[in-house]
Amino acid sequence: LDYTLTPIIGVEYSSCLCANGRNTFRWTMTPLVLGTLNVSVSAEAIPSHASCDNEIVSVPERGRIDVVTRSLLVKAEGTEQTDTYNWLLCPAGASLKEEVDIKLPKEVIDGSARAALSVLGDILGRAMQNLDGLLRMPYGCGEQNMALLAPNIYILEYLRNTEQLTTAILNKAKGFLTSGYQRQLNYKHYNGAYSTFGQGDGNTWLTAFVMRAFGRATSFIYIDPEVIEQSKKWLESRQNKDGSFIQMGKLFNNRMKGGVSDEVTFTAYVTASLLELNNSVSDPIVAKSLSYLRNSSTDVSNTYTTALLAYTFSLAGDMETRSRLLQHLDKVASHQGGFLFWSQSSSTTSASLSVEISSYVLLATLSSPSMSTSDLGYGSRIVRWLVRQQNPYGGFASTQDTVVALQALALYSTKVFSPEGSSSVSVQSPGGQVQVFDINQSNKLLYQEKALPALAGQYSIEVKGTACVTIQVAVHYNVPTPTDSTTLKIQVVPEIDCSSKALRPRLSLKIQSLYNGKEETTNMVIVDVKMLSGFVPDPQSLAELKKAFPVDRVETKDDHVLIYLTELSSGSPINHSLDIIQELPVQKLKPALVQIYDYYQPSDQAETEYIFPCAAD
């Protein structure tokens, strides 16, 4: 067994029960492995000559035995880490080899490490497996809901354009699209605008994002045309006389800011959204915004804006401006071997923004009506870098980079699609064992995964054949919670009266969040509080937390409480309180993890732990 059940001294495991009676039986359960354990308990009515509450004991002919099975999730202590290694290999009739040396840190928690290798014959295959979970992040606001919805559209368009769309995939994706559409209407204002939590002023960035996605989704599900038209009219009402659009609400990621004004970036975003929905360049709204953008396109100090402008002018068919912007972008690109990518600046690195910028350059490169073979070759170098940045679920670092990257990868996959070819992938482990995967046209979308026999050592991967394959090695393990922090810091102090004899002890968590970065404020921040084993959040405390400043939303998921903070100002600590109640007594309680991170800049994060001060061995 994966666990032991030890009887408790003094507890009798048989009982006389009359109709509508009840009794509680208790054991001490000790899990022996990590993972989900299924625990089954059976109760049986048996004959007896003893009287039961002055009644003769009877045994029913039916319903004499009942069995209940419940699952128990056993997790390792500490912080879970994931290392991924990705390759896009196109052997073109030859043989390609790669090697990966998996190393685990010395402080890894015993029994927590696991590794697997997965193979797919399609760049978008991994995302297709996880249409409802491209990121392991909360989805409690309007922008994050759209980040779930939009990739479905790009993947469906790719499958339809390459004649790979099956009824099963279409029905599954339609379900996600329909529920996402209905959910998004919760964040819609009466005037057609959308906001992050459906209240306050409309957000122009989010409204353009929704309009763009809804417009493209109409070819797969019914979307009320008036909903899209309302958003367009609201955005038009935000246009200045010079053609720029007035920005309302925050940028999704404040690292987008740079040498040019936010108005240029935002105007390019809205214009690209309108052009994607097949609005003509002669449309007065579009024509005015394009004129404004041309006048602003000489300032190329902001790499993000320049990449977005290059894509916008590609959609507009302005090849002269597009060519000039792409020439500049090529000069500031990072070339590493066969990989090509961009960063916002040389002084700061942002994985999320690098993915987004590189994806916009890829979209611009592939959106020309006169695309050449050299454009495809240039794009393939960007694609190889993008594939290396994917997480184990097919997404990327955060929401916006995932949306734009999957849009770009879908376009690239459509351009290079071939209905022919096959390849075989062989993987040799450190012990010499060989595992083989076969990829052909009938299974290219099939997710194939095998656990790696050794958790550390050098693996050799060889691909032979004529079809491109994507390969990923994902290594998961836990380490003791790090004490170092980035620009964010989190402190948790547990408070309780240990002399209290309450049957359900109440623990009060005093949480302090602090930002010490160079920006004036952060983006939206998530505080993720994991419950101690056997504890649950107090409903009244959750209700009070929802009213606190600067809390936008509080939600519970599994054994976590997720607190959405609008932003944190640099140097100003924010204090909150959360009460949790013990429902099940647990011996040898391990500390619980609390994380804080910038939603759009997840590398800005910090962690700490808290304990139950009264816990006894």
- Confidence band for 119, pLDDT divided at 50, 70 and 90: very high
- List pLDDT tens digits, range 441-456: 999 988 999 998 767 8
Question: Has residue 617 got a pLDDT over 60?
Answer: no
What is the pLDDT averaged over residues 517-543? 93
Q: Answer yes or no: is 352 within a domain.
A: yes
pLDDT score, position 488: 93
pTM: predicted TM-score of the whole model, two decimal places: 0.82
Q: Answer yes or no: is 502 within a domain.
A: yes
Task: Say how many domains are in the chain.
Answer: 4
Question: Has residue 138 got a pLDDT over 80?
Answer: no
Q: Answer yes or no: is 116 within a domain.
A: no
Question: Has residue 267 got a pLDDT over 90?
Answer: yes
- Confidence band for 347, pLDDT divided at 50, 70 and 90: low
User: What 8-state DSSP symbol labels residue 118?
Assistant: E
pLDDT score, position 213: 94
Q: Answer yes or no: is 114 within a domain.
A: no
Q: Are residues 133 and 167 in the same domain?
A: yes
Question: Has residue 460 got a pLDDT over 50?
Answer: yes
Which of 391, 370, 371 lies closest to 380, judged by CA? 371
- Kindly report the CA angle at 481 between 478 and 486, in degrees rounded to 5? 120
pLDDT score, position 259: 37
12-16, 244-248, 305-309, 409-413: which has the minimum mean pLDDT?
A: 12-16
Q: Are residues 432 and 578 in the same domain?
A: no
Q: Which of 435, 452, 476 is the last residue of a domain?
A: 476
- Please report, for the domain that includes residue 229, its CATH number: 1.50.10.20
Question: Has residue 158 got a pLDDT over 60?
Answer: yes
- Token output for 284: 């007065």
The mean pLDDT value of the chain amounts to: 89
Lookup result for tokens 């619980």: 592
pLDDT score, position 609: 94
pLDDT score, position 257: 47
> How many CB atoms lie under 10 A from the CB of residue 518?
7
- Confidence band for 136, pLDDT divided at 50, 70 and 90: low
Lookup result for tokens 């309009």: 211
- Confidence band for 78, pLDDT divided at 50, 70 and 90: confident
pLDDT score, position 360: 96
Q: Answer yes or no: is 602 within a domain.
A: yes
- List pLDDT tens digits, range 383-412: 999 999 998 888 888 888 899 999 999 999
- Whether the Cβ atoms of residue 428 and residue 460 lie closer than 8 Å to each other: yes
Question: Has residue 251 got a pLDDT over 70?
Answer: no
Q: Are residues 382 and 530 in the same domain?
A: no
Range of the domain at 433: 423-476
What's the length of the chain?
A: 617
What is the pLDDT averaged over residues 586-600? 90
43-57, 159-173, 183-197, 518-532: which has the minimum mean pLDDT?
A: 43-57
